Chains A and B, each alone.
Chain A
Amino acid sequence: MTPHVGNDGLLKYRMELLEEKEAREIRVHLQTCRKCRSLLERVEDDLRRIKGFDPAVEAVVPLLPAARRGRVQSFLRVAAILAVGFLLGAATSESLRAPLVDVVPQNLITRPPSTSAGQFTVCP
């Protein structure tokens, strides 16, 4: 029979901190050693205690942030607002548009542009 494992060895074994070869040796030893099996149970109890902090807390689920809720609906809402705005804008600009002015060519006075500075008079 192999020598007893001891507390530290069993702790490492249970926490899977050993190389496979060492772990196998302990596994074999445990099959035949009641004392080490009992020590191992104590190690396991201790580990259960260490992870045993469990305060009475209730999970009160907060609302999903508004930005996430109904993103598709939000998108559609924005699209609808933009579409309505565009249509209103188009209708308004149509009704407020100034009447067109007919330009009759014969009423226009055309004069060739001045080409030299001498044509200007100097104010006294």
Chain B
Amino acid sequence: MRSDWEYLGRARDGEEDAWRLLFEKHYVPLVRLTALITGSIDAAKDIAQETFFRLLRVRQQHDEGNFKAYVSTIAFRLALKEKARVRRAKHAENPESPGDTPSPLETVVQAEEQKQIVRVIQLLPDHYREIIVLRFYGEQSYEEMAETLAIPIGTVKSRIFYAVKACREQLEKRGML
């Protein structure tokens, strides 16, 4: 069975089939990940697509390791940049506002349970949200998360524990547990 790295190499060489296969496999998970960071499904779609174009352009050639963690790190960083850009723009428009507005993400999910999940994750402090998203939506290992976030692995482990605990408490408050 061919690895995603191999498909990426073939896509770089211009093979449409390899490109399609990679895109179909990873696009939706990347949209989920980046939507939870940016709070916008449209921005998430753009970022997920841009992630694939960046994959083609990256000079450093990898051919081993967790491909999903690799693409999710690219998408995650792009999402953080987008979030910061939107925050700056909102702050410039209205310096009095705190910068965060209710998430339009809730409007794109139908099921009430999903709305609650989105709300709970969006209400977490940034550092908790980011670690939850990398773990559960980027499927990164603790080592990979430590590298992505440039923090010690011990911090990753304690942060993910408290982040999940905070999520559970919020879900319980909302009567979901």
Q: Given A59-B27, A69-B14, answer yes or no on A52-B160 (Cβ-Cβ < 8 Å).
A: no
Give the size category of A's interface with B.
20 to 34
Q: Is B117 within 8 A of A53, CB to CB?
A: yes
Find residues 37-56 in chain A having any chain B CB closer than 8 Å to their own CB. 42, 45-47, 49-56
Interface positions of B from 66 to 100, Cβ below 8 Å from A: none
Contact of B41 among A42, A51, A55 (CB under 8 A): A55
Cα separation A48 to B46 with both chains bound (whole Å): 27
Determine if A49 and B113 form an interchain contact, defined as CB atoms under 8 angstroms apart.
Answer: yes
- Measured between C-beta atoms, what is the minimum distance from B111 to chain A in Å? 9
Q: Does B151 contact A (CB under 8 A)?
A: no
| Closest residue of B by beta carbon distance from A59 | B27
Cα A120 to Cα B160 with chains together (Å):
100
B7 at the binding interface (Cβ < 8 Å): no
* Contacting residues of chain A (11-40) with chain B, CB-CB under 8 angstroms: 11-12, 15, 17
Q: How far is the CB of B4 from chain A (nearest CB, A)?
A: 15
The answer to whether A53 and B109 touch across the interface, beta carbons within 8 angstroms, is yes
**Is B147 part of the binding interface, using a Cβ–Cβ cutoff of 8 Å?**
no
Q: What total of A-B pairs shows CB separation below 8 Å? A: 98
With A47-B164, A53-B36 as given contacts, are A59 and B23 in contact (CB-CB < 8 Å)?
yes
Tell me whether B176 and A57 are in contact (CB under 8 A). no
Chain B interface category by residue count: 35 or more
**What sequence of 0s and 1s flags, for each residue 1-43 of chain B, a beta carbon within 8 Å of any chain A beta carbon?**
0000000000111111001100110011001100110000100
- Partner of A68 from B14, B23, B136, B161 at Cβ < 8 Å: B14
A63 vs B132: C-alpha distance when bound (angstroms): 32
What residues on A are CB-neighbors of B19 within 8 Å?
Answer: 61, 64, 68
| Apart from A15-B160, A46-B168, 14 more pairs, CB < 8 Å | A47-B164, A51-B136, A51-B137, A53-B121, A53-B137, A55-B35, A55-B108, A55-B109, A57-B27, A59-B24, A61-B20, A68-B14, A71-B13, A71-B14
Closest 6 CB pairs of A and B: A51-B136, A59-B27, A64-B19, A61-B23, A71-B14, A68-B14
Listed in ascending order, the chain B residues whose CB lies under 8 Å from chain A are 11-16, 19-20, 23-24, 27-28, 31-32, 35-36, 41, 45, 49, 52-53, 56, 105, 108-110, 113-114, 117-118, 121, 132, 136-137, 157, 160-161, 164-165, 167-168, 171, 176-177
Q: Can you offer 7 A-B residue contacts whose CB atoms are under 8 A?
A: A50-B117, A52-B113, A52-B114, A55-B31, A57-B28, A57-B32, A59-B28
